[in-house]
Structures are given as C-alpha cells and as structure tokens.
Chain A
Amino acid sequence: MKINDVILRTVTKIVVFIILTFGVYLFLSGHNTPGGGFIGGLVLASAIVLLYLSHDIETVQKSLPLDFKLVAASGVLLATGTGIGSLLFGAPFMSQTFAYFDLPVFGKTELTTVTIFEAGVALAVVGVVVTIILSISEDE
C-alpha cells in the first residue's frame, strides 16, 4: 500500500528552501555572529536528509546528481588546500588573512580566506553526513 504523503511533500518543497537559505546564512554569518562552516554544513545536510525522507532515494539522486563522497573529498581538499595555499605567499602553514574591499552591490565588504576554509569544512560535513545516512539506509 502506498501512503498518500502529499502534505509532507508539499511542506518539504517549501521548507527545504527555508532550511537551505538558513544554512547558507549560518555559514556566511559565522565570522561575526554565531554560525560557521560546521553548523552551516550540518543544516544543509539536514535539508538534504529531509528530501530523502519525503521522496525516495532515486528521485532525489535524479534531481541532485551528486556523489556525496566526492563532495566530502573536495571539502577536505579545499580545507587542507587553504593551508597549503598560504605557503605559496611565504606565510606559515594555515595563516589566514583578511581585507576590506568596496564591492559594487554590497558596498564595503570584508573578504577573508577563512571563508574558503569554512567552505571546505561545510562541504566535508555535508558530504560525510549524507554519505553515512545513505549508506546505512540503503543497506539491506
């Protein structure tokens, strides 16, 4: 018997966007207010888990054709890469830097290498969490 889960699906469609937006917000705001790569990554992952819960795995795979192991790997690569990157500028391993720029739309904005590092963290968290949950749930 197939359960009629139209309400769940409809709600999910809207909520997923809210969660995703919230996750991105947490990620970006981490520098000055609570949040950051780890929490942002976890929230993004929970949005994807919600998608898996309301739809079946194949459907989500079709619309989100990502290999989450690769996502996790690229996250780790990015995080360690920023550490190595600082070596290219003659600075010690993992030295972060920041500066203020005047951007056309955002006005005076602080850009920092920590954001790149945090992006790596977030990607790794998303990839790992989804990989673990998918592996266990797919297991028969």
Chain B
Amino acid sequence: MFSVTFAIILPFIIAALVPFIHRRFKFIHIGWLVMLVPITLFVMLARLIPSVASGKTYIQTYSWIPTLNINFTTYLDGLSMILGLLITGVGSLVILYSIYYLSTKESLQHFYCYLLLFMGAMLGVVFSDNLMVLYVFWELTSVSSFLLIAFWNHRKASRLGAQKAMLITVSGGIAMLVGFIMLHTMTGSFSIREIITSIGDYTDHALFVPAMILVLLGAFTKSAQFPFHIWLPDAMEAPTPVSAYLHSATMVKAGIYLVARFTPVFGGDQIWFWTVSGVGMITLFWGSFNAVRQTDLKALLAYSTVSQLGLIMSLLGLGSIALQYGYSADSVLYTQATFAALFHLINHSTFKGALFMVVGIVDHELGTRDIRRLGGLMTFMPITFTVGVIGSLSMAGLPLFNGFLSKEMFFAATVQIMNADVFSLQSLGIIFPVIAWIASVFTFVYCMIIIFKTFLGPVQPEKLDKPLHEAPMGMLISPIILSILVVGIFFFPNLLGAYILKPAMASIYPMFGDPANLTPSIHAWHGVKPELLMTIGVVIVGTLLYRLLKKWKPVYGLLSSRYTFNAFYNNFLSFAASKSTIVTNKYMTGLLRDYLVYIYLFFILTVGGFFFYSGAFSPNFSTDARIRVYEVILVGVMAVAAVAMLFAKSRMTATLLNGVLGYSIAIFFVIFRAPDLALTQLVVESITTVLFLLAFSHLPDWKRENIPSKTKITNAVISVGTGAVVVLVALAVLNYDRFESISTFFEDAYELAGGANIVNAILGDFRGFDTMLEVVVLFIAGLGVYTMIKLRAKKGDENSEN
C-alpha cells in the first residue's frame, strides 16, 4: 500500500544511509543505488494516476505538535501529483545522467546525500497540507540547494553563488513564514484545505493583503521572478545535473506550485491578479531579453529559465481572474490560462532538462560552454545535436514540439484577457499580448543562438582543449528520453490533459464543479486564429533579429553595468557590511569610560523618564522627621569631603577623604541607632583604607589625565543627572505607604529565635541563607585576590592560560 508520507521520508532515510553504503561498496558507483529511490517513488506515484484522475485524493495525518495545531498532514491531489511526478521522474533521469557526468573521484557520497535531501524536501513541499510543515520543507530545499550549488566549494564563484541563492531564497522564505502566520491568525487553521474552504469570510480582513504579499514574496524569490531572479544565473556554478534538476525542473517550480496552490485562497483579488501576472510578464520579458546577450550557454539557459518561469507565473495570474467571476460558462474561458500554465510547467521541465543535459555534455566533453569557442558540433555530436535542436525548437515554440502547444495557449490566454471587463483590463489588457509577443521574439532569438552558434557554423578546434567526439551513451539516455517526451506530448497532448492536468485544475478551482469542463481538448491545428498569426510573426521577426544580431547587440551596452540588479545586490551587501562596521566601531570604543556613560545615560533616560512620565515625582515631606543640627553638620562634612575628593591632587588625599566619608556614615549609623552597622562600618572602613594604602604601593604615580574639556563637561552633566535622578527617586519613594511594613514580625525575635538582638537574629536565623551565601562571596573574593597575586604569570613566564 502506497503512503505519501513514506514517499517523503524514504529519500531522507536513504540520504542518511548513503555515506555508509558508499564506504562499504567502493567498487560500485553509488548513484546506481540512489537512482532506485526516485524510480520506486515514480512508479508508486504513477500507479495512482488513474485514481487521482477520477477525482480521488489521498490524505494522511500524523501528529507532530498537536497542541500548536501543527501536524504532519500529507495531501495528494492533481496539483501535487504533477510536481511529484516531475520531481521523481526528472530526478531519476538526472541521477542516471550524473552517474556518467561525475567521476568517482568526486565526493559522491556528499553529492547524493544532498540530492536525496533535496528530493525529500521537495516532495515534502508539494505534498504538505500543513503550512508549517510546508515551510519546514521549503527551507530544507533552500539549504540543500545551497549545499548543491557550492558542491565544488574550492571555487570562489560557487561559494558566492550559493551565498546569493541562500540569502535571497531564505529572505523570501521568512517573508512567507510571516504570511503563513498571518493566514493562521485570520483563519485559525494551518491546513491549506481548511483555509481554502473558509477564506471567503476573511477577504476583507486587515491581514488579507499583507499575507498575500508576503506569501508571494516567498514564491517570487524561490522561482526567480523579477527582481529576485539574480540568484539563478549565479547558481549555474553548480554541477550541471544539479542545474538541470534544481534550477530548471523542480526547485524553481516550488514558487509556481505555491502560487497555484494559493490561487483558490487569494485568487480573484485584484492585487493578486496584477502582482502575479504583472511580475510574471516583466520576468518573461527581462529574462528573454537578457538571455540573448549571454555568451555562456548555462547562463543563457538560466535567463531562459527565468523567462519561462515568468511565462508560467503570468499565466497563473491571468487564470486567477476566473475566480473573480465565479463559475459560469464565460469564466471557464479564463481558466484556460491556468491550464496553459500547468501544461507549460510540464513542457518546460522536459525541454529545459534536456537542454541543460546537452549543455552539460558539451561542457564535459569539450571543456567549455562559451559559445564564442564552440561551433559546428553537429557532425561530431549528432545525438547531442538532435536533442539540443528538439529542446531549443520546443522552447522557441515551433510546431512538432510540445512548446508550440503551450505557447499557442499562452498567446490565446493573453488575447482572451482583453475581453475581461474587470480590474480596468479594457484599457490595460492590451499590454499582455504585446509583452508576450515581444518576449517570444527574444525567446526565438536565443533559441536560434543555441542551435546555430553551438552546433552549426565553422568548427573551431584550435579554441578547444579536448578532441571533438560524441558523448558516452549513458550520458545521452536521459536527454533522449526527455526529448522523446517533448515530441510525444506534442502528438498526444490530450492524454496528459485527461490524466494529469484535469485533476490539477480541480485542485486550483475547487468550487468550479466538474473538472472535465475546465479541461479543453488540445489541438495542434485549430484554424487561423490570432495566436497562430502571432507565432508566424514571432518566427519572421525572430529570424530577422537573429540575422541582424551584430547590428543591434550594442543596445545591451547602453545599460551600464552599474545599474544592474546584480550591482545593486553587491553594493547593498558591501554597503551593509561597511556601514555596520562603522556604526559598531563608533560606539564599541573599547573604553570603559564610554560604556559607563551609556549605562548612566540609559539609567537617567529610563528610570528618570519613567518617573517623570508617570508623574511619580511628587515628594511628600509632611511625615518627615525633624532635621537635627548635628545631622546637618555631618552632611556638610560629607559634602565637603566628597567635592574635595574630585579635586584631590594625590591618591593619598583621595583615600583619606574617602575614609572621612566612611566614618561619617558610621556616625550616621550611630545617630540613627544602628549599633551593629556602625561597628561593622567602622571596622570595614578601617580595613579597606588599609587595603587601599597597601595596594597603592604597587601602583604607578598618579598622573593627571589629559581629558578634553568636552568630555569633562559631558561627564559632569551625566554625573549630576545621575545624582539628581537618584535623589529624586529616593524622595519620591520615601513615604511609600501602600503596604504595611513586615518589621513587626521580627520584633518578636526573642520568642522566635531566642535572641534579643534583632539584627543578628535576622542575619543568623530568619534570613540566615543570605548570610551563608555572603560568607561564600567573601571567601571567593579572598581566594580571588590570593590566586591573582600568587599565580599570575611573571615576566618571561610561559603563557599559562591553557
């Protein structure tokens, strides 16, 4: 019996075992064993296709943190089925490819461990119903992709690319987490299915739009939408199997999946429509425009991936408008955009996976992927060439390949959207087909670049490090399978539509009843319609533009490299680092004097500020005792001694003045009838004075410090302020009479503790615990002095800190 939870867990279990198996079976390439995992899962999932197509869904729940409503709930429906099949299917092919691509000298156990981690995390993302579990797997994909991009971590570019991908995707992931928490706050549920059924009541909630924007941020960063697309070209430093798997077929589709999954939640809202379709359109154009200028094949494919992801994203945005209308015969027309998005999602995975593998083969066999050094490979690499042409033409949207079908449907959807009469589309709707068409022209141009610059034209053997030859068969199997799929889908698209896309449509439009109405029959030829004319136009203008490429390529030079998003990202990082260094150096001066200023300032502001604001500075002198003459005299003596100490010229004077203060306090204790305190104060004062004097014999002469007068004034202000706050607070709390004093209890000390001296009874009996610990403190201080003096390292001693 198949269990979705098992499908998520299995890759993790095998990933944990990979290092052990690798050590045991050195003679066999570990990839062969790893490949069994996605194949098994693919077969298991494929067996469920008929039942999912008939509308069945599979749900399973395991308690994880039930008190927080976080449970490990897996949910298999049409939408997650598409992604599940892509992850396991392309995963199997990529692992097969990587077996021939990576030599056994690489640390394969790490590679396959990361890859399996990624696969499990990705399956977790698409099968999770619980938002928190989804987030956990979402971040796991970020982390494992980080590890895979930096697989060759001895290269600087790999590390930088991994860092960039990590920073951008994790920032988006955290935004998404906040969005999820907002969703939970609104609806009280973490389950996506429950949220979909209840979200209708919350569309006016204050958190609805923020949650939508934050979830979209997560989706846009993950699937490299404008302007977060900059991490994807840099992630091309990863080994090519990783690029083929993560950065074309699976991880970048996680954002697409998220948008599709949340369409029933947020779709139908104007902001959602314009953000998703608008950002998708910009990404579509910007990616295809930039792909043309690339000279590195992988970078070209990266920008092309960005562009195609923008296409899918914009289609999802266009399709969401159907939810605005509710279910009717008209609104079904708009769902065709979503259908096209899902269809292109699958198509893109097939042809882009094949293209990445082709580029990988070229790179692996010839040692370069720079189109300026390549050319005329057709005769030397016929199979690679065939696969490359199939992939490129499909991407360009030409007939006989599945890209044609989805591109036609894309054009149809953009034309259709002009008929909508909501969201001010009557006037603005025209931009969709226009941008789509322009972007398609650029797409056509870079597809031609791939074919003509790489495989046709003159051979340049002098620029290559390795002899020209065809790749080994094992490397070619996976791209061949993918290209067969590319052609196969073109001829039998409705098979895919009926079994895979129909249930997915049902999960995006759950309230639209029978999904069969949402599933159009796909035809390669449906008469002369606007979309066909658009395609013909694309081919004509695209060919022209490709021919004249040299003429208009300087256009790219107009855009200074200082204003690119990459430059912005780099500047932002270095700006943040340098500014935070400056700020930290500003206040972390290393001077105790400055830190004390902060502490006192904080004290004045918080304590003084609080008392001031709460109006607590209202001293009440009515119940004060009468002030007697000798108290005034004593205070006068202390004030004179204290002020004199500030201006003392020698250390001895300061110490003796300090003694005056101490003895005066002892006299105060006498006046206020505290004989124990007076005795202790006298003796302690004497002994500390002796200690001061003893310690002075070890200190250098007392030099006047040359403090700038500005600092002096600051210090004076702060010390006066601190003193004033303390005095005011003391005056304010002096006559506090909200509660009875507990001292009456201690007055019975003779009966309770057998001692007439209350102070001593408190110290030894009532609160003996304090005294005990104070004794320990004293002991520790004594040992501290002893060890500091006896055990300190003498000059020339070894540093004995260790």
Query: Known contacts A39-B680, A46-B686, A94-B768: does B789 contact A135 (CB below 8 Å)?
Result: yes
Residues of B contacting A35 in the complex (Cβ-Cβ under 8 angstroms):
676, 679, 757, 760
Instruction: Identify which of A32, A72, A83 contacts B769 (C-beta below 8 A).
Output: A83
- CA of A75 to CA of B782 in the docked complex: distance in angstroms? 13
- Whether A98 pairs with B786 at a CB distance below 8 angstroms is no
- Whether B676 pairs with A94 at a CB distance below 8 angstroms is no
Query: Known contacts A31-B756, A114-B753: does B778 contact A128 (CB below 8 Å)?
Result: yes
Instruction: Give the number of residues in B that approach A within 8 Å (Cβ atoms).
Output: 39
Cβ-based interface call for A12 (8 A)? no
- Whether B775 pairs with A79 at a CB distance below 8 angstroms is yes
22 intermolecular pairs with C-beta atoms under 8 Å apart = A31-B761, A32-B757, A36-B757, A36-B759, A36-B763, A39-B680, A42-B680, A46-B683, A49-B690, A72-B779, A76-B776, A94-B769, A110-B754, A114-B755, A117-B771, A127-B779, A127-B782, A129-B687, A131-B785, A132-B786, A137-B694, A139-B789
Docked complex: B685-707 residues within 8 A CB-CB of A: 686-687, 690-691, 694-695, 698
Residues of A contacting B675 in the complex (Cβ-Cβ under 8 angstroms):
34
Instruction: Identify which of A38, A110, A114, A118 contacts B680 (C-beta below 8 A).
Output: A38
- CA of A118 to CA of B782 in the docked complex: distance in angstroms? 19
- Whether B694 pairs with A34 at a CB distance below 8 angstroms is no
Q: Taking the nearest CB of chain B, how far is it from the CB of A3, in angstroms?
A: 18
Q: How large is the interface on A (under 10, 10 to 19, 20 to 34, 35 or more residues)?
A: 35 or more
Residues of A contacting B779 in the complex (Cβ-Cβ under 8 angstroms):
72-73, 75-76, 124, 127-128
- CA of A21 to CA of B772 in the docked complex: distance in angstroms? 25
Nearest A-chain residue to B779, judged by Cβ: A76
Cβ-based interface call for B781 (8 A)? yes
Q: Taking the nearest CB of chain A, how far is it from the CB of B794, in angstroms?
A: 10
Q: Taking the nearest CB of chain A, how far is it from the CB of B287, in angstroms?
A: 73
**How many A-B residue contacts, CB cutoff 8 Å?**
140
- CA of A92 to CA of B680 in the docked complex: distance in angstroms? 30
Cβ-based interface call for B795 (8 A)? no
Residues of B contacting A118 in the complex (Cβ-Cβ under 8 angstroms):
760, 764
Cβ-based interface call for A24 (8 A)? no
Cβ-based interface call for B765 (8 A)? yes
Query: Known contacts A35-B676, A42-B687: does B754 contact A128 (CB below 8 Å)?
Result: no
Q: Taking the nearest CB of chain A, how far is it from the CB of B769, in angstroms?
A: 5
Query: Known contacts A35-B760, A39-B680, A110-B754: does B782 contact A132 (CB below 8 Å)?
Result: yes
Cβ-based interface call for B790 (8 A)? yes
- CA of A72 to CA of B781 in the docked complex: distance in angstroms? 11
Cβ-based interface call for A54 (8 A)? no
Residues of A contacting B757 in the complex (Cβ-Cβ under 8 angstroms):
30-36
Given contacts A31-B754, A98-B753, A114-B760, 17 further A-B contacts (CB under 8 A): A30-B760, A31-B761, A34-B679, A72-B783, A80-B772, A80-B776, A96-B764, A96-B768, A112-B753, A117-B768, A124-B779, A128-B782, A129-B687, A132-B781, A132-B786, A135-B785, A136-B694
Cβ-based interface call for B16 (8 A)? no
Binary contact track A65-99/B, C-beta < 8 Å → 1, others 0:
00001001101100110010000000001101010
Binary contact track A24-55/B, C-beta < 8 Å → 1, others 0:
00100011111111110011011001000000
Query: Known contacts A112-B754, A124-B775, A136-B789: does B760 contact A36 (CB below 8 Å)?
Result: yes
- Whether A94 pairs with B772 at a CB distance below 8 angstroms is yes
- Whether B778 pairs with A133 at a CB distance below 8 angstroms is no
- CA of A96 to CA of B771 in the docked complex: distance in angstroms? 13
- Whether A125 pairs with B778 at a CB distance below 8 angstroms is yes
Residues of A contacting B683 in the complex (Cβ-Cβ under 8 angstroms):
39, 42-43, 46
Residue of B687, B695, B764, B786 with most partner-chain A CB within 10 A: B764
3 A-B pairs closest in CB distance: A128-B782, A98-B754, A34-B675
Instruction: Identify which of A32, A45, A69, A94 contacts B783 (C-beta below 8 A).
Output: A69
Cβ-based interface call for B684 (8 A)? yes
Residue of B675, B695, B755, B776 with most partner-chain A CB within 10 A: B755
Nearest B-chain residue to A131, judged by Cβ: B782
- Whether A124 pairs with B754 at a CB distance below 8 angstroms is no
Query: Known contacts A69-B786, A139-B789: does B676 contact A39 (CB below 8 Å)?
Result: yes
Q: Taking the nearest CB of chain B, how far is it from the CB of A12, in angstroms?
A: 16
- CA of A128 to CA of B764 in the docked complex: distance in angstroms? 19
Q: Taking the nearest CB of chain A, how far is it from the CB of B527, in angstroms?
A: 95
- CA of A45 to CA of B688 in the docked complex: distance in angstroms? 13
- Whether B684 pairs with A42 at a CB distance below 8 angstroms is yes
Q: Taking the nearest CB of chain A, how far is it from the CB of B684, in angstroms?
A: 7
Binary contact track B286-300/A, C-beta < 8 Å → 1, others 0:
000000000000000
Nearest B-chain residue to A53, judged by Cβ: B690
- CA of A138 to CA of B694 in the docked complex: distance in angstroms? 10
Q: Taking the nearest CB of chain B, how far is it from the CB of A122, in angstroms?
A: 10
Q: Taking the nearest CB of chain A, how far is it from the CB of B694, in angstroms?
A: 5
- CA of A132 to CA of B694 in the docked complex: distance in angstroms? 10
- CA of A135 to CA of B698 in the docked complex: distance in angstroms? 12
Instruction: Identify which of A36, A127, A135 contacts B676 (C-beta below 8 A).
Output: A36
- CA of A129 to CA of B690 in the docked complex: distance in angstroms? 11
- CA of A135 to CA of B754 in the docked complex: distance in angstroms? 40
Q: Taking the nearest CB of chain B, how far is it from the CB of A92, in angstroms?
A: 10
Q: Taking the nearest CB of chain B, how far is it from the CB of A119, in angstroms?
A: 11
- Whether A135 pairs with B786 at a CB distance below 8 angstroms is yes
- CA of A43 to CA of B684 in the docked complex: distance in angstroms? 10
Residue of B775, B779, B782, B789 with most partner-chain A CB within 10 A: B775
- Whether A132 pairs with B690 at a CB distance below 8 angstroms is no
Residues of A contacting B698 in the complex (Cβ-Cβ under 8 angstroms):
136, 139
- Whether A96 pairs with B753 at a CB distance below 8 angstroms is yes
Instruction: Identify which of A32, A80, A114, A138 contacts B764 (C-beta below 8 A).
Output: A114
Nearest B-chain residue to A75, judged by Cβ: B775
